[in-house]
Structure 1
Amino acid sequence: MSTQSTKRASVELFAGAGGLGIGLAQAGFEPEMVVEFNKWCCDTLRDNHGVLTENEPVPAATWHVIEGDVRKVGFKDLEGKLDLISGGPPCQPFSLGGQHRAFDDARDMFPQAVRAVREARPRAFVFENVKGLTRASFMSYFEYVKLQLEHPELISKKNEDWQDHLARLEQHHTSTNRDGLHYKVVTKLLNSANFGVPQRRERVLFVGFRDDVNAKWSFKEEGSHTQAALVWDQTFGDYWDRNEISKHDRVLEGRAKLMAKRLSKDEKPESLPWRTTREAIMDLPDPEKAPKAAAKIDNHRFQPGARVYPGHTGSFLDEPSKTLKAGVHGVPGGENMLRRADGSVRYFSTREAARIQTFPDDYRLHGAWSECMRQLGNAVPVELARVIGESVAKQLDEAA
Structure 2
Amino acid sequence: MSELTVIEVCAGAGGQALGLEQAGFAHRLAIELDSWAAKTLRSNLGADVVKEGDVADRTVFNPLDHVGQVDLLAGGVPCPPFSVAGRQLGASDERDLFAWAVETASQLEPRALLLENVRGLSAPRFRGYRQHVLDRLKKFGYVAEWRLLHAADYGVPQLRPRFVLVALRPEDWPFFSWPTRIENTTTVGTSLRDLMAANSWEHADEWMEMARGIAPTIVGGSKKHGGADLGPTRAKAAWRLLGVDALGVADDAPQQSAPHPSVRLPRLTVGMVARIQGWVREDQRHQVWLENLAGRKTAQYRQIGNAFPPPVARALGDSLISALRHEKEHEVLPTSSETQDGIYRVLSASRSFLTSELIMEQASEQLTLRQFERRIAHLSEDFHVETRETPGGPAYRISGFKAFVGQDGHGRHEYMRTHRSRVS
Q: Is TM-score (shorter-chain normalized) higher than 0.5?
A: yes
User: What is the aligned partner in structure 1 of residue 357 from structure 2?
Assistant: none
In the TM superposition, what is the alpha-carbon distance from 1:343 to its structure 2 partner?
A: 7.5
In the TM superposition, what is the alpha-carbon distance from 1:71 to its structure 2 partner?
A: 1.2
TM-score (norm 1): 0.65
1:97 partnered with 2:56:
no
Amino acid at match of 2:116: E
User: What is the aligned partner in structure 2 of residue 270 from structure 1?
Assistant: none
User: What is the aligned partner in structure 2 of residue 57 from structure 1?
Assistant: none
CA separation in 2, counterparts of 1:6 and 1:188?
A: 29
User: What is the aligned partner in structure 2 of residue 218 from structure 1?
Assistant: 177
User: What is the aligned partner in structure 2 of residue 353 from structure 1?
Assistant: 273
In the TM superposition, what is the alpha-carbon distance from 1:150 to its structure 2 partner?
A: 3.3
CA separation in 2, counterparts of 1:35 and 1:284?
A: 32
2:115 aligned counterpart, secondary structure:
strand
User: What is the aligned partner in structure 2 of residue 313 from structure 1?
Assistant: none
1:333 partnered with 2:229:
yes
1:130 partnered with 2:145:
no
User: What is the aligned partner in structure 1 of residue 307 from structure 2?
Assistant: 379
1:193 to 1:344, Cα distance in 2 relative to 1, 3 A: farther
CA separation in 2, counterparts of 1:111 and 1:98?
A: 17
1:79 to 1:190, Cα distance in 2 relative to 1, 3 A: same
1:71 aligned counterpart, secondary structure:
coil
CA separation in 2, counterparts of 1:150 and 1:348?
A: 45
User: What is the aligned partner in structure 1 of residue 373 from structure 2?
Assistant: none
In the TM superposition, what is the alpha-carbon distance from 1:112 to its structure 2 partner?
A: 2.5
1:145 to 1:274, Cα distance in 2 relative to 1, 3 A: farther
1:39 partnered with 2:39:
no
2:167 paired residue among 197, 208, 223: 208
CA separation in 2, counterparts of 1:129 and 1:45?
A: 20
1:393 paired residue among 309, 313, 321: 321
In the TM superposition, what is the alpha-carbon distance from 1:10 to its structure 2 partner?
A: 1.1
| Contact 1:209–1:215 (Cα < 8 Å) also in 2 | no
1:79 paired residue among 60, 64, 67: 67
1:367 partnered with 2:295:
yes
Judge which range, 69-78 or 122-131, deviates more: 69-78
| Contact 1:79–1:121 (Cα < 8 Å) also in 2 | yes
In the TM superposition, what is the alpha-carbon distance from 1:345 to its structure 2 partner?
A: 3.1
Q: Which runs of 5+ in 1 are unaligned?
A: 52-62, 152-180, 226-272, 291-315
Amino acid at match of 1:47: S
2:194 aligned counterpart, secondary structure:
coil
1:318 paired residue among 212, 235, 242: 212
1:14-163 equivalence runs, <5 A = 14-50=10-46, 64-72=49-57, 73-151=61-139
1:378 to 1:150, Cα distance in 2 relative to 1, 3 A: farther
In the TM superposition, what is the alpha-carbon distance from 1:100 to its structure 2 partner?
A: 1.6
2:326 aligned counterpart, secondary structure:
helix
CA separation in 1, counterparts of 2:2 and 2:189?
A: 35
| Contact 2:218–2:230 (Cα < 8 Å) also in 1 | no
User: What is the aligned partner in structure 2 of residue 176 from structure 1?
Assistant: none
1:380 aligned counterpart, secondary structure:
coil
1:283 paired residue among 194, 198, 202: 194
CA separation in 2, counterparts of 1:344 and 1:139?
A: 46
In the TM superposition, what is the alpha-carbon distance from 1:7 to its structure 2 partner?
A: 2.3
| Contact 2:6–2:71 (Cα < 8 Å) also in 1 | yes
Amino acid at match of 2:16: L
CA separation in 2, counterparts of 1:39 and 1:287?
A: 31
| Contact 2:175–2:326 (Cα < 8 Å) also in 1 | no
In the TM superposition, what is the alpha-carbon distance from 1:48 to its structure 2 partner?
A: 2.1
User: What is the aligned partner in structure 2 of residue 263 from structure 1?
Assistant: none
In the TM superposition, what is the alpha-carbon distance from 1:324 to its structure 2 partner?
A: 0.4
Amino acid at match of 2:303: Q
TM-score (norm 2): 0.62
1:70 to 1:391, Cα distance in 2 relative to 1, 3 A: same
Amino acid at match of 2:185: W
In the TM superposition, what is the alpha-carbon distance from 1:92 to its structure 2 partner?
A: 1.1
Amino acid at match of 1:199: Q
1:213 to 1:280, Cα distance in 2 relative to 1, 3 A: same
CA separation in 1, counterparts of 2:131 and 2:199?
A: 47
1:330-352 deviations in whole A, cap 9, x for unaligned? 55424375742638434321111
Report the RMSD for the aligned CA atoms in angstroms. 2.6
User: What is the aligned partner in structure 1 of residue 399 from structure 2?
Assistant: none
In the TM superposition, what is the alpha-carbon distance from 1:365 to its structure 2 partner?
A: 1.8
1:100 aligned counterpart, secondary structure:
coil
In the TM superposition, what is the alpha-carbon distance from 1:14 to its structure 2 partner?
A: 0.5
1:208 aligned counterpart, secondary structure:
strand
CA separation in 2, counterparts of 1:11 and 1:277?
A: 33
Larger radius of gyration: 2
CA separation in 1, counterparts of 2:300 and 2:146?
A: 29
Identity, % of aligned positions = 31
Amino acid at match of 2:142: Y
| Contact 1:277–1:319 (Cα < 8 Å) also in 2 | yes
Amino acid at match of 2:24: G
Aligned length: 284
CA separation in 2, counterparts of 1:143 and 1:345?
A: 46
1:139 to 1:377, Cα distance in 2 relative to 1, 3 A: farther
CA separation in 1, counterparts of 2:172 and 2:120?
A: 31
| Contact 1:325–1:377 (Cα < 8 Å) also in 2 | yes
1:169-225 deviations in whole A, cap 9, x for unaligned? xxxxxxxxxxxx3100011101110111111110011000023435332215x7122
In the TM superposition, what is the alpha-carbon distance from 1:373 to its structure 2 partner?
A: 2.0
| Contact 1:90–1:108 (Cα < 8 Å) also in 2 | yes
